[in-house]
C-alpha cells in the first residue's frame, strides 16, 4: 500500500514517502465542497460523502492559522480551509515544492577565460588565450596529461580473446563442414544428371528427325546415325561395313577423320573386325 495520498491537484504526496507530514480527511459537513474547489481536484465531486471522507489533503496546503498548534500541525481548526489552487497565498506549486525556499535556489557561477593581448615583432596585436591547465597545480597536470596520452584499448584483441571456441563448438564446426561438403557433392551430381537428361532428350529428338529424313543412300544415313551413337549402343552392320570400307580405301584418311572428332569406330575395333573376318574366311575354306 502507498499510504494516505494527498488529493490536492498536482501534489501526490503519500504518508509512506513523507511520514513527517500530517494528512487530514475531507470533512463530512458542507465544507467539503470548498475543500474540493480549493484543491483543484474537481473530479472528487462525483464521490459519495463516505468515500470522500477517506480522501486526504496534506498539511502543506493549509495556512498556519488553520492549525490548533502551528508548530505541531497535528490538528486543524474546525473552520480550516485549504489554500486555493494556484493562489498567491499558497506557497506550493503543483508539484508540492515550496517556491520561496531560499535553500532550493542555486546560484550559477560562470567563469570566463582571461584574454591577454601580446604584440609580435611585426607590430600586430595578437589574442592569447590561456590554456586550461594554467590554473591547475603541477600534480594534477601530470595526471591529466597521462590520461590524455594513455592509449585506447584495442577492441579487436578483446573480441578475439573472448571468442575462444570450446571442444563442443569445434566438433559442431567440423560436422557442419563435412555436411556442407556432402551437400556440394550432391548438388554437382544432380547438375550432371540434369545435363545428361537434357542431352538425352536432344539426342532422341535428332534421332527421330534423322529417321524421318529420306537420305540418298544407306551409307549417308549410316554415317549420320554413327554421329549419334553412344557407348551403350553397338555398331550396326551397315555402320561396320561403312567403317571397314573407308579404312580399306585410305587408312590415313580414316585417321584424319578420327582426329577431327568424327564419330567412327576406333582403329583397335576395326583391326578386331578384320581379324574376325579372316578367321571366318579360313573356317569357310
Residues 6+ apart with CB under 8 A from 83: 38, 61, 62, 63, 89, 90, 92
On whether residue 123 sits in a domain, the answer given is: no
271 and 225 in a single domain? The answer is: yes
Residue 196 domain flag: yes
Q: Decide if 98 is inside a domain.
A: no
The pLDDT confidence band at residue 107, using thresholds 50, 70 and 90, is: very low
For residue 264, what are the domain limits?
Answer: 218-283
Q: For residues 34 and 15, is the Cβ–Cβ distance under 8 A?
A: no
CA distance 187 to 99: 80
Residue 164, C-beta contacts closer than 8 angstroms, at least 6 positions apart: none
Instruction: State the cell numbers at 189.
Output: 551430381
The last residue of one of the domains, among 47, 66, 85, is 66
pLDDT at 88: 52
Position 130 in a domain: no
Sign of CA dihedral 192, 194, 197, 199: negative
Statement to judge: residues 209 and 242 lie in one domain = no
Per-residue model confidence (pLDDT) at position 90: 52
Q: Is 187 helix (H, G, I), strand (E, B) or coil?
A: helix
Residue 265, pLDDT score: 92
The pLDDT of residue 182 is above 90? yes
Strand pairing class (23-25; 56-58): antiparallel
Specify whether the CB–CB gap between 222 and 238 falls below 8 A.
yes
**pLDDT attached to residue 195:** 86
Domain boundary (187, 213, 239) is at 213
Integer angstrom CA distances of residue 9 from 5, 83, 160: 11, 11, 58
Residue that wins the pLDDT comparison between 97 and 119: 119
Checking if the pLDDT of 117 tops 60, the result is: no
Map residue 188 onto helix, strand or coil.
helix
As for how many domains the chain has, the answer is: 3
User: CA geometry: angle at 45 spanning 39 and 50, to 5°?
Assistant: 100
Indicate whether 235 and 202 sit together in one domain: no
155 domain residue, yes or no: no
Q: Is residue 13 part of a domain?
A: yes
pLDDT, residue 266, reads 92
DSSP state for residue 109 in the 8-state scheme: -
Residue 104 has pLDDT above 50, yes or no: no
Residue 180 lies in a domain: yes
223 shares a domain with 209: no
Model confidence over 54-95: pLDDT tens digits?
A: 889 998 898 888 888 878 888 888 888 898 887 555 554 433
Cell of 129: 588565450
Of 160, 190, 213, the one marking the end of a domain is 213
| Block residue for cell numbers 495556512 | 63
Three-state DSSP state, 119 = strand
The pLDDT of residue 280 is: 61
Does pLDDT of 96 surpass 50? no
Same domain, 208 and 227: no
119-152 per-position pLDDT tens digit? 555 555 555 545 554 555 555 555 555 555 555 6
Dump pLDDT digits (tens) for 210-266.
Answer: 778 888 888 888 888 888 888 888 899 998 999 999 999 999 999 999 999 899 999
User: What was the pLDDT predicted at 284?
Assistant: 54
For position 253, what pLDDT does the model report?
A: 92
Instruction: Tell me the Ramachandran region of residue 69: left when phi exceeds 0, alpha when psi lies from -120 to 50, beta otherwise.
Output: beta
Q: How confident is the model at residue 112 (pLDDT cuts 50, 70, 90)?
A: low
CA 236 centroid distance within chain: 68
- Condensed to tens digits (0 to 9), the pLDDT of residues 233-247 reads 889 999 899 999 999
> What is the tens place of the pLDDT at every residue in 26-54?
988 888 888 988 888 888 888 888 888 88
| Residues 235, 271 within the same domain | yes
Kindly compute the dihedral angle of the four CA atoms of residues 66, 69, 75, 79, in this order, to the nearest 10 degrees. -30
**Residue 173 in domain:** yes
pLDDT exceeds 70 at position 108: no
- The reported pLDDT for the residue numbered 276 is 84
Does residue 235 share a domain with residue 193? no
Q: Average pLDDT in the 163-172 region?
A: 80
Amino acid at each position: 500500500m502507498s499510504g494516505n495520498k494527498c488529493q490536492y491537484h498536482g501534489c501526490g504526496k503519500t504518508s509512506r514517502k513523507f511520514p513527517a507530514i500530517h494528512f487530514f480527511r475531507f470533512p463530512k459537513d458542507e465544507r467539503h465542497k470548498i475543500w474540493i474547489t480549493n484543491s483543484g481536484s474537481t473530479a472528487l465531486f462525483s464521490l459519495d460523502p463516505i468515500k470522500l471522507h477517506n480522501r486526504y489533503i496534506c498539511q502543506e496546503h493549509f495556512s498556519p492559522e488553520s492549525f490548533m498548534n502551528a508548530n505541531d500541525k497535528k490538528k486543524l481548526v474546525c473552520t480550516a480551509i485549504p489554500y486555493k489552487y494556484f493562489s498567491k497565498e499558497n506557497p506550493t506549486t503543483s508539484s508540492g515544492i515550496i517556491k520561496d525556499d531560499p535553500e532550493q535556489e542555486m546560484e550559477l557561477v560562470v567563469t570566463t577565460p582571461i584574454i591577454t593581448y601580446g604584440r609580435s615583432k611585426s607590430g600586430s596585436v595578437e589574442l592569447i588565450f590561456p590554456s586550461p591547465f594554467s590554473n591547475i597545480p603541477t600534480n594534477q597536470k601530470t595526471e591529466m596529461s597521462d590520461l590524455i596520452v594513455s592509449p585506447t584499448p584495442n577492441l579487436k584483441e578483446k573480441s578475439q580473446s573472448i571468442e575462444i571456441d570450446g571442444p563442443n563448438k569445434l566438433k559442431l564446426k567440423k560436422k557442419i563442414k563435412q555436411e556442407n561438403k556432402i551437400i556440394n557433392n550432391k548438388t554437382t551430381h544432380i547438375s550432371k544428371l540434369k545435363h545428361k537428361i537434357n542431352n538425352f532428350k536432344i539426342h532422341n529428338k535428332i534421332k527421330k528427325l534423322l529417321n524421318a529424313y529420306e537420305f540418298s543412300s544407306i551409307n549417308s544415313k549410316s554415317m549420320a546415325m554413327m554421329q549419334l551413337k553412344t557407348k551403350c549402343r553397338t555398331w550396326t552392320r551397315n555402320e561396320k561395313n561403312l567403317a571397314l570400307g573407308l579404312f580399306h580405301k585410305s587408312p590415313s584418311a580414316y585417321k584424319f577423320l578420327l582426329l577431327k572428332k568424327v564419330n567412327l569406330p576406333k582403329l583397335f575395333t576395326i583391326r578386331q573386325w578384320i581379324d574376325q573376318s579372316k578367321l571366318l574366311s579360313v573356317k569357310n575354306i
